[in-house]
């Protein structure tokens, strides 16, 4: 591991960047934590008065463990791309060849049966497989574990039924349902659980020691600010990530800077190749939302629920990642997180040449 994980003193960071983050945290009226991973400098962590880094949290140096929800999607995409690079799966293989019964499980009607062969991992991961179910509700902790196949069949309620509504490849609609089917396909092809695959291909190689995917029945992952929300996301491939701002910043840093061998550059480029254009103006690669502009090609993803709002962002080609998390959800959490992430990215991009960050 390089100097990134060894440097912890804020004094090692450019003063302007430290000041920007500390000022934002000092002014925040909600609990917020920010992590920045920067090539040649290390990892900088900062928290607001109501979410101090020094708090007794289940993370290194008091970094909170957050319910990151949909941040699971880029993690699963990185896992899938690494498996593809190793020849263990095919991104363009029809999922029905791996899971012949998935159309019956999902209740695909006769009118849409002709679309089934166009559903591939690539399209599931880029939100172009034709599914429209955006997300899934949390469930109370305890009781029997809910399997991905049960979710695909609609066990979480009529509004959460995983329906295929468009011909694959013709339209981009952000959908958590696609990641439920992707989880099933990855597990069927490899014979391994998604938890194990993500741990072995993402968390362990990147040193994301505090991250976990999913919640075992009866085992609520603790959050740093209180324990006990009493609920969890059963659709782990879509929304089951628990992580810290430190771990997320490191993941985005590794992906932006070429991943240091975890995923080689050819496959990293596959993650960031625009596969689709969503209705909100973002393009989607595999797992990541993409936006091109004066800052370069920014790759990002957010995750939120009632308890937290989390956003991570990086720039393709830069060894840099920033993540911020608020201890509240909704518009209040969004307003605490989005401006500081955007400001940090602009600051880093404006000084990238000076700091020698660009190749």
pLDDT in tens, 2-56: 434 433 445 678 889 999 999 999 999 999 999 999 988 888 999 888 777 754 4
Q: How many Å apart are CA 346 and CA 344, to the nearest integer?
A: 6
Bridge pairing between strands 139-140 and 231-232: antiparallel
DSSP annotation of 307 = S
- Strand (E) or helix (H) holding 253: helix 245-256
Contact partners, residue 351, CB within 8 Å, separation at least 6:
14, 16
**pLDDT score recorded for residue 65:** 82
Helices (H), the chain: 15-27, 72-85, 95-98, 102-106, 121-125, 148-152, 177-190, 194-198, 204-206, 236-239, 245-256, 265-272, 330-350, 352-355
Q: How many Å apart are CA 232 and CA 352, to the nearest integer?
A: 39
Q: How many Å apart are CA 11 and CA 6, to the nearest integer?
A: 13
Q: How many Å apart are CA 321 and CA 248, to the nearest integer?
A: 8
Per-residue pLDDT tens digits for 190-237:
999 999 999 999 999 988 988 988 754 444 444 433 334 677 788 999
**pLDDT score recorded for residue 342:** 96
Please state the length of the chain. Answer: 359
Contact partners, residue 11, CB within 8 Å, separation at least 6:
none
- Strand (E) or helix (H) holding 204: helix 204-206
Judged against a pLDDT cut of 80, whether residue 269 lies above it is answered with: yes
Nearest in space to 303 (alpha carbons), one of 136, 162, 180, 141: 136
Contact partners, residue 159, CB within 8 Å, separation at least 6:
133
Helices 265-272 and 72-85, packing angle to 10 deg: 140
3-class state of residue 49 by DSSP: coil
**pLDDT score recorded for residue 258:** 52
Contact partners, residue 311, CB within 8 Å, separation at least 6:
300, 301, 302, 303, 323, 324, 325, 337, 338, 341
Q: How many CB atoms lie within 10 A of CB 309?
A: 29
Q: How many CB atoms lie within 10 A of CB 143?
A: 9
Q: How many Å apart are CA 42 and CA 113, to the nearest integer?
A: 51
Average pLDDT over residues 167-183: 94
Average pLDDT over residues 331-349: 96
- Is the pLDDT higher at 98 or at 61? 98
Q: How many Å apart are CA 89 and CA 87, to the nearest integer?
A: 6
How big is the CA angle at 55 (ends 50 and 56), to the nearest 5 degrees? 140
**pLDDT score recorded for residue 8:** 44
DSSP for 172-195 reads: ----SHHHHHHHHHHHHHHSS-HH
Among the ranges given (70-79, 90-99, 209-218), the one the predictor scored with the smallest mean pLDDT: 209-218
Predicted structure pTM score: 0.91
Per-residue pLDDT tens digits for 119-155:
999 999 999 999 989 998 888 776 677 889 999 998 9
**pLDDT score recorded for residue 280:** 65
User: Both tokens of residue 152?
Assistant: 């695909």
Q: What whole-number percentage of the chain has pLDDT above 70?
A: 86
**pLDDT score recorded for residue 259:** 52
**pLDDT score recorded for residue 115:** 97
Q: How many Å apart are CA 343 and CA 34, to the nearest integer?
A: 12
53-75: buried (b, 16+ CB within 10 Å) or exposed (e) per residue? Answer: bebebbbeebbbbbbbbbbbbbb
**pLDDT score recorded for residue 229:** 62
Judged against a pLDDT cut of 70, whether residue 180 lies above it is answered with: yes
- Strand (E) or helix (H) holding 249: helix 245-256
pLDDT, averaged across the chain:
85
Q: How many Å apart are CA 9 and CA 42, to the nearest integer?
A: 9
**pLDDT score recorded for residue 295:** 74
């Amino acid at each position: 591991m390089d100097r990134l994980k060894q440097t912890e003193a804020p004094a090692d960071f450019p003063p302007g960047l430290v000041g920007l983050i500390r000022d934002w945290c000092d002014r925040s009226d909600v609990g917020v934590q920010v992590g920045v991973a920067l090539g040649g400098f290390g990892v900088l962590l900062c928290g607001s008065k109501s979410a101090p880094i020094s708090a007794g949290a289940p993370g290194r140096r008091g970094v909170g463990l957050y319910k990151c929800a949909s941040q699971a999607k880029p993690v699963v995409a990185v896992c899938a791309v690494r498996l593809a690079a190793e020849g263990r799966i095919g991104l363009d293989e029809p999922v029905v060849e791996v899971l012949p019964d998935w159309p019956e499980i999902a209740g695909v009607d006769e009118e849409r049966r002709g679309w089934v062969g166009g559903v591939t991992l690539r399209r599931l991961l880029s939100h172009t497989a034709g599914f429209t179910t955006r997300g899934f509700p949390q469930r109370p902790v305890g009781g029997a574990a809910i399997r991905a196949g049960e979710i695909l069949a609609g066990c979480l309620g009529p509004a959460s039924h995983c329906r295929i509504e468009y011909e694959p490849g013709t339209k981009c609609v952000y959908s958590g349902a696609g990641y439920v089917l992707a989880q099933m396909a990855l597990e069927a092809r490899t014979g391994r659980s998604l938890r194990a695959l993500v741990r072995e291909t993402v968390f362990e190689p990147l040193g994301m020691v505090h991250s976990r995917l999913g919640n075992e029945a009866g085992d609520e992952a603790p959050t740093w600010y209180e324990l006990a929300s009493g609920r969890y996301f059963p659709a782990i491939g879509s929304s089951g990530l628990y992580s810290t701002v430190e771990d997320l910043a490191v993941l985005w840093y590794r992906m932006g800077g070429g991943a240091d061998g975890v995923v080689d550059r050819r496959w990293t480029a596959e993650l960031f190749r625009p596969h689709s254009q969503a209705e909100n103006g973002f393009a989607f690669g595999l797992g990541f939302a993409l936006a091109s502009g004066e800052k370069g090609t920014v790759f990002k993803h957010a995750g939120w629920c009632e308890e937290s709002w989390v956003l991570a962002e990086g720039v393709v080609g830069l060894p840099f990642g920033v993540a911020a998390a608020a201890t509240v959800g909704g518009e209040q959490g969004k307003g605490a997180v989005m401006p500081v992430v955007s400001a940090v990215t602009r600051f880093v991009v404006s000084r990238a040449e000076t700091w020698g960050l660009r190749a």
